[in-house]
Structure 1
Amino acid sequence: MTDLVDPPRVRPGRHGSPGHSGSVTTTTPRPAREPRVVEGAPSDPKHRPSRGGPTSPAGPPRGGWRGPRTARAGERRRMLFLTVALVVVLALFAGRLVYVQVVRGPSVAQEAREKRLTSYSLIGTRGQITDRDGVALATSVERYDVSVNQLLVGSYRGDGTEADPDGALGVAKRLAPLLDEDVAELGGRLVGERQFVYLLKGVLPEVAREIFALRLPGINVDKAAARTYPNGNLAGNVIGYTNSNGQGLAGLEASLDDQLKGTPGVETYERGAKGQAVPGGLSEGTPARTGDSVRLTLDADIQWKAQSLLDAQVAATKSDGGTVVVTNVRTGEILALADSGSTDPNNPGDAEEGSLAASVSNVFEPGSTGKVITMAAVIEEGLVGPTDRWTVPYVFTTDNGQQIHDSHEHGTLHLTTTGVLAESSNTGTVQVGAGLSEEKRYQWLTRFGFGSTTGVELPGESRGILHDWEDWDGRTKWNVLFGQGVAVTALQATQVFATIANDGVRVEPHVIAGWTDPDGEYTEADPAPRTRIVSQETADTVLSMMESVVDDGTGANASIPGYRVAGKTGTAQNWLHGKQGITASFIGVVPADDPQIAVSVFLHEPKTSIYGGTVAAPVFKEVAAYTLSELGVAPSGTKPTLFPTEW
């Protein structure tokens, strides 16, 4: 078998030479040779270029050789990959942007805004308390509270000198002169771990501005409304006081707290890095509302006169205390309600919370001033007249064996009903009132207001003590006729006389004249309730009988030149401060011919005398005369026609 060799190749003749056209040449195998390396081509022998001549068209290399076209294709693929990657990245960013801007946009914006927002409270100023003429008795003034965040004080940086060191000591040295404190003591209060500690309350505005201008780290200056009472203890027993937070604790400040207190507001704004408001930023809030202001029926001048005269007499008689009440008998307005030792609301000290007005909270027996009720009752019932005659011994024995004594030992007197009242005889009074049944006696006491509150707007008012008539023992049923066995407040006792003076019509006593809202609109209080207790004829009769007490009886020291005065003295027991004592009193009406005011004076446990005509009547005279002058009441134009006192 012949070995196979390369097949014969037919080679065309050069340039189409006929001599070579179609000839067949037998060739021998060529020896192997090293592959020819073509510059720019792969060195792999499997990727040799075609042997075509110069005229052969250039074609793609066999076996995958990458020529210029292949390189461009790779570049296109790389560009495509980068484009796709970029698109993906942009899509991610776009998605995130949509998520942040659209989905979470509002919440993110809100969170950012909240971080820039700051809020502070606006103080709702408390309303004023004024007298009948608008004189301020209680008002709110601008003050500031200085506090410290101890955690921030250490960041203070002074100027490096001994006078201005860093930290708490430097803050103390700059702040102490303004707070009027010792540097070392103040420095100790600035150091600690607490975020809020008061340094001083009630700082004046000008001092607060100086502190604020220092910009000391951790030192806060906050506006506060401080309550102040310009007239000190004047009517302090009625006005009461507030605590450091502006809440009423006693007196009218407590009972009227809901109307007096303001409504706080809030202000919210966007702040910059240094705390300044951002121009055009959010600024909103609820404005604070000032509380309503109350106008009282009290007259500051009359209140001052009554209080000063009372305090002087308490000192002069070495009494444990006392009360003066001045009321307008026609309207029920209380013009003065003075209690000795009245608390200064600016410095309430250890005063107890609640009512400070002893005139409406302390109770005592009315004593002989209560005889006016007995006289009005028997005359209204038609049982006795003002000129009926009575034989009056020093000691009288009742039908159930009770012995009644007069305050002074005396022989048998021959007195009219008017004379019994004028001489303030207990033995005569039980004879005058004997015709009233026990139930009737109780009913008349309650009709004149004993055993119930008067309705005055002061907190802590006592209803007094009046037991049911069925519970009276054998002596009490007689004692109630001359003001014993029953306990009342000073205001309750005064109301009996005001009712007689007002033609027998009881007007509910009150201290509130009206209210002024924050816009300045004044609204008068509703008219006081009025109740007829006795007829006008009975009232006129009893009033005339009381004139005899001053003109020809125990109340001579109460007479006022130029004015007709009707009144009654009293000496009775009390149970003040946990012990039994004596209360001396005088209650009067003036002018008796045209009653305008009722004035009462009570002295508890006087040491110089126990008789109201001696220690209380002179104070009545001065207080009543001053009040008549202040009110411009003309002197009496007629002389009294008095009932006879003896027979």
Structure 2
Amino acid sequence: MNPAPRTGGRRGRPHSELRSRRLRATLAMAVVIALVGVFVVRLADIQIVQASELNAQSLNKREIRQVTYGDRGDIVSSDGTVLAGSVTRYNITAAPAFAEDVTVTETAADGTTSKQPLTVEQVLARVADITGGDEAAMQKSISDDPEANFAYLVKGVDVDAFRAVRDLKNSGVSWLYYERQSARSYPNGSVAGNLTGFIGTDGPQAGLELSADQCLAGTDGLQTYERGADGVQLPGSTVTTQEAAPGGTLSLTIDSDLQYMAQQAVAEQAQAIGAESATAVVQEVKTGKLLAVADWPAVDPNDVNLTKDVADLGSKAFTSSYEPGSTFKAMTAAMLLDSGKAAPTSRVTVPYSRTFPWGGEIHDATFHPTEQLTLTGVLRDSSNVGISLLGQNLSAEQRHDYMVKFGLNEPTAVGFLGEPTSGVRPASDWDQQTSINTMFGQGVQTTAVHVAGIFQTLGNHGLRLPTSLVEGCTAPDGTVTMAPSTEGVQAVSPAAADSTVNMIEKVVSDGDLKDVLTIPGYRVGAKTGTAEVAKSDGTGYGSDRIVSVAGLAPAEDPQYVVVVTFTKPSTIKTSAAAAPTFNKIMSQVLEMYRVPPSTEPAPVIPQTW
């Protein structure tokens, strides 16, 4: 009898085992699919969703931005001499994050090369030795933020130092960098330094550098380059995102040679007479252009630390107010002639002094017996009493209005920094004594440039032209801005102005200082001034003086005005101290500009009666 067949033999597997294997395979496949899905999602997130952000982060880690500096424009004189210009300087920088010891390749004089290991400290020591920088400060710049990509080591090194640092970098110090910048230079030192001003660490600080900054300032640009993981700049990676643009050229009316001579002249005399300060102004009559504005003490913009008193950093010819004294009498005479209240031959009896019902008193500079003078004689002798007797024919309001026409109530058209806003108070504010004193230059404030404007007006047949110092600003594209106005104001009639010039000729030809003021071959008209200086406590006038001479030449056809002032001289305290300098500068002006000698004789005008 055969045995029954076996149902669980080796020919097949139980269903449970097959199901288990299939389940494991399914699970494995699901895990693989899930992992692939995660990677795909993550990849999509990186490459699509976060692509721009991650690219920017990556770029920021390798992209370095550098400012490229637009050169500052030049300040030039009328003859093209550069008074202020830009020179190339370099800032030496480093990447602290990549600062490490290096091995540099050094080349000997015979051309052989060698390897030299240098620590970070030794590299910085070499940079300090090359540039004259502070090694300790460089060490601190590196250590303050060791993860930084940028730090300054030394600023403003010259081209020679830059080249030496560049050679050091190229020899193997990849973490050293540099950037170009524009620095300021004043090639002629103190010549016109009081006018140009200067640049400090915080930018323009004074003078035209500050007031004309909109013309002179360049526009900075921007460029980027990429750096590899080792901190080395990648070749060909530099991209300029914004071009730098230079500033404009500021052209002045100043003649640099005349400016130098005028500065030397006032400096020499100021020191000789012990003056606190001095100015000289030369102005062209027919244009109003300032050809020289000299100040002493002078300023060297290359080293302003040499100027001990900050009050000397600007131009006192523009900014220092003073009571001009007798130079004012020429304008008072022109007022009288223009209004018909007097003529050059008008007669007046002139005692030494004069007292007033309110208790005031005026007197002339030196004692004299009572004299019989004409208006011309009053100007020749510079009589305070005489000009007051004639000047009282005009009301205070009338004289004030004339002063306004002569431009004394406002800053000059130059608008130089620090100019006083007003030197003439309304006539309603004058007391009786002030009303008298203004006729001979007391009780009213002016500047040397304002006084030059008075004589420019008289020399130009009564037409006051705007005083100009700047010819214009020429942009890199040739566009010219800042051109001065040429619109004048008729302050007095041509006849009144011309007659006044004829009268002040007698100061030079017949006055006490004729031996000093006369310029052989030329007719010169001038007026001297010895102004008292008010006490600081307001109790009247002390012993200090401001001495001056203002004049023009040639008198028959005035071309140039010269005004010189000396503040608080300690030796000669009269206008005799200013006369030699006036003569020296005016003589130089007439020679420099080849003014033909006078051929017409001066008119004969009675000075006494």
TM-score by length of 1: 0.82
Q: Does 1:232 align with 2:189?
A: yes
Amino acid at match of 2:429: D
Q: Is the 8 A contact 2:468 2:484 kept in 1?
A: no
| Deviation readout 1:372-397 (Å, 9 max, x if unpaired) | 12211111111111112222221233
Judging changes above 3 Å, is the alpha-carbon distance between structure 1 residues 609 and 352 closer, same or farther for their aligned structure 2 residues? Answer: closer
In 2: Cα distance, 1:354 partner to 1:617 partner? 24
From 463, 466, 471, the counterpart of 1:513: 471
Judging changes above 3 Å, is the alpha-carbon distance between structure 1 residues 450 and 457 closer, same or farther for their aligned structure 2 residues? Answer: closer
The 3-state SS of whatever aligns with 1:371 is helix
In 2: Cα distance, 1:144 partner to 1:342 partner? 30
Judging changes above 3 Å, is the alpha-carbon distance between structure 1 residues 197 and 553 closer, same or farther for their aligned structure 2 residues? Answer: farther
In 2: Cα distance, 1:291 partner to 1:180 partner? 30
Q: How does 1:59-138 map to 2 (within 5 A)?
A: 64=12, 93-138=39-84
Q: Is the 8 A contact 2:90 2:159 kept in 1?
A: yes
Deviation at 1:522, TM superposition (A): 4.6
Which residue in 2 is equivalent to 1:436? 394
| Deviation readout 1:186-235 (Å, 9 max, x if unpaired) | 35752573248765433111211211322347655332211111111111
Higher alpha-carbon deviation: 217-226 or 478-487: 217-226
| Deviation readout 1:518-557 (Å, 9 max, x if unpaired) | 2345557143331110010111111110111111114422
The 3-state SS of whatever aligns with 2:382 is coil
| Deviation readout 1:19-46 (Å, 9 max, x if unpaired) | xxxxxxxxxx78xx8x99xxxxxxxx53
Which residue in 2 is equivalent to 1:343? 299
Deviation at 1:449, TM superposition (A): 2.5
The 3-state SS of whatever aligns with 2:59 is helix
In 2: Cα distance, 1:65 partner to 1:397 partner? 146
Q: How does 1:570-581 map to 2 (within 5 A)?
A: 570-574=529-533, 581=544
Amino acid at match of 1:602: T
Q: Is the 8 A contact 1:390 1:416 kept in 2?
A: yes
| Deviation readout 1:65-103 (Å, 9 max, x if unpaired) | 589xxx999999998887777666555555544444344
Q: Does 1:549 align with 2:507?
A: yes
Judging changes above 3 Å, is the alpha-carbon distance between structure 1 residues 304 and 577 closer, same or farther for their aligned structure 2 residues? Answer: farther
In 1: Cα distance, 2:52 partner to 2:363 partner? 93
The number of equivalent residue pairs is: 586
Amino acid at match of 1:251: G
In 1: Cα distance, 2:34 partner to 2:23 partner? 16
Judging changes above 3 Å, is the alpha-carbon distance between structure 1 residues 576 and 513 closer, same or farther for their aligned structure 2 residues? Answer: farther
Which residue in 1 is equivalent to 2:598? 636
Judging changes above 3 Å, is the alpha-carbon distance between structure 1 residues 432 and 399 closer, same or farther for their aligned structure 2 residues? Answer: farther
Q: Is the 8 A contact 2:299 2:312 kept in 1?
A: no
Q: How does 1:396-435 map to 2 (within 5 A)?
A: 396-398=354-356, 400=358, 402-435=360-393
In 1: Cα distance, 2:90 partner to 2:386 partner? 67
In 2: Cα distance, 1:88 partner to 1:198 partner? 52
Judging changes above 3 Å, is the alpha-carbon distance between structure 1 residues 95 and 124 closer, same or farther for their aligned structure 2 residues? Answer: same
Which residue in 2 is equivalent to 1:204? 158
In 1: Cα distance, 2:20 partner to 2:360 partner? 137
Q: How does 1:230-629 map to 2 (within 5 A)?
A: 230-245=187-202, 247-275=203-231, 278=234, 283-349=239-305, 352=310, 356-398=314-356, 400=358, 402-522=360-480, 525-556=483-514, 557-574=516-533, 581-612=544-575, 614-629=576-591
Higher alpha-carbon deviation: 567-576 or 224-233: 567-576
Which residue in 2 is equivalent to 1:46? 7
Q: Does 1:214 align with 2:164?
A: no
In 2: Cα distance, 1:521 partner to 1:548 partner? 48
Judging changes above 3 Å, is the alpha-carbon distance between structure 1 residues 490 and 624 closer, same or farther for their aligned structure 2 residues? Answer: same
In 1: Cα distance, 2:311 partner to 2:245 partner? 27
Which residue in 2 is equivalent to 1:18? none
In 2: Cα distance, 1:402 partner to 1:522 partner? 55
Q: Is the 8 A contact 1:250 1:354 kept in 2?
A: no
Over the matched positions of the two proteins, sequence identity in percent amounts to: 34
Which residue in 1 is equivalent to 2:111? none
Q: Is the 8 A contact 1:505 1:530 kept in 2?
A: yes
RMSD: 3.4
Higher alpha-carbon deviation: 498-507 or 478-487: 478-487
Higher alpha-carbon deviation: 415-424 or 630-639: 630-639
Q: Does 1:646 align with 2:608?
A: yes
Higher alpha-carbon deviation: 271-280 or 373-382: 271-280
Judging changes above 3 Å, is the alpha-carbon distance between structure 1 residues 214 and 576 closer, same or farther for their aligned structure 2 residues? Answer: farther
In 1: Cα distance, 2:13 partner to 2:175 partner? 80
Higher alpha-carbon deviation: 484-493 or 472-481: 472-481
Which residue in 2 is equivalent to 1:223? 180
In 2: Cα distance, 1:370 partner to 1:287 partner? 55
Q: How does 1:1-80 map to 2 (within 5 A)?
A: 45-47=6-8, 64=12
Deviation at 1:365, TM superposition (A): 1.1
Amino acid at match of 2:466: E
| Deviation readout 1:110-158 (Å, 9 max, x if unpaired) | 44334332211011211111111211000110012335677765x2246
Deviation at 1:478, TM superposition (A): 1.3
In 1: Cα distance, 2:311 partner to 2:383 partner? 41
Amino acid at match of 1:225: S
Q: Is the 8 A contact 1:370 1:482 kept in 2?
A: yes
Amino acid at match of 2:131: L
From 129, 144, 151, the counterpart of 1:177: 129
Judging changes above 3 Å, is the alpha-carbon distance between structure 1 residues 100 and 282 closer, same or farther for their aligned structure 2 residues? Answer: farther
The 3-state SS of whatever aligns with 1:121 is strand
From 176, 186, 197, the counterpart of 2:135: 186
In 2: Cα distance, 1:392 partner to 1:458 partner? 41
Q: Is the 8 A contact 1:150 1:191 kept in 2?
A: no
Deviation at 1:512, TM superposition (A): 0.5
Higher alpha-carbon deviation: 525-534 or 507-516: 525-534
In 1: Cα distance, 2:589 partner to 2:379 partner? 27
Q: Is the 8 A contact 1:362 1:576 kept in 2?
A: no
Q: Is the 8 A contact 1:451 1:488 kept in 2?
A: no
Amino acid at match of 1:499: T
In 2: Cα distance, 1:220 partner to 1:279 partner? 14
Deviation at 1:447, TM superposition (A): 2.5
In 2: Cα distance, 1:198 partner to 1:317 partner? 51
| Deviation readout 1:556-585 (Å, 9 max, x if unpaired) | 222212211111011012359999520111
Judging changes above 3 Å, is the alpha-carbon distance between structure 1 residues 201 and 98 closer, same or farther for their aligned structure 2 residues? Answer: closer
Judging changes above 3 Å, is the alpha-carbon distance between structure 1 residues 449 and 416 closer, same or farther for their aligned structure 2 residues? Answer: same
Amino acid at match of 2:295: D
Q: Is the 8 A contact 2:297 2:312 kept in 1?
A: no
Judging changes above 3 Å, is the alpha-carbon distance between structure 1 residues 523 and 254 closer, same or farther for their aligned structure 2 residues? Answer: closer
Deviation at 1:472, TM superposition (A): 2.5
Deviation at 1:504, TM superposition (A): 0.3
The 3-state SS of whatever aligns with 2:472 is strand
Judging changes above 3 Å, is the alpha-carbon distance between structure 1 residues 488 and 594 closer, same or farther for their aligned structure 2 residues? Answer: same
Higher alpha-carbon deviation: 360-369 or 169-178: 169-178
Judging changes above 3 Å, is the alpha-carbon distance between structure 1 residues 575 and 124 closer, same or farther for their aligned structure 2 residues? Answer: farther
| Deviation readout 1:425-456 (Å, 9 max, x if unpaired) | 11111111121122223222333223322222
Higher alpha-carbon deviation: 84-93 or 423-432: 84-93
| Deviation readout 1:243-301 (Å, 9 max, x if unpaired) | 124x1111111111222111111112333345555567572410111111100111101
Q: Is the 8 A contact 1:178 1:207 kept in 2?
A: yes
| Deviation readout 1:36-57 (Å, 9 max, x if unpaired) | 9xxxxxxxx53369xxxxxxxx
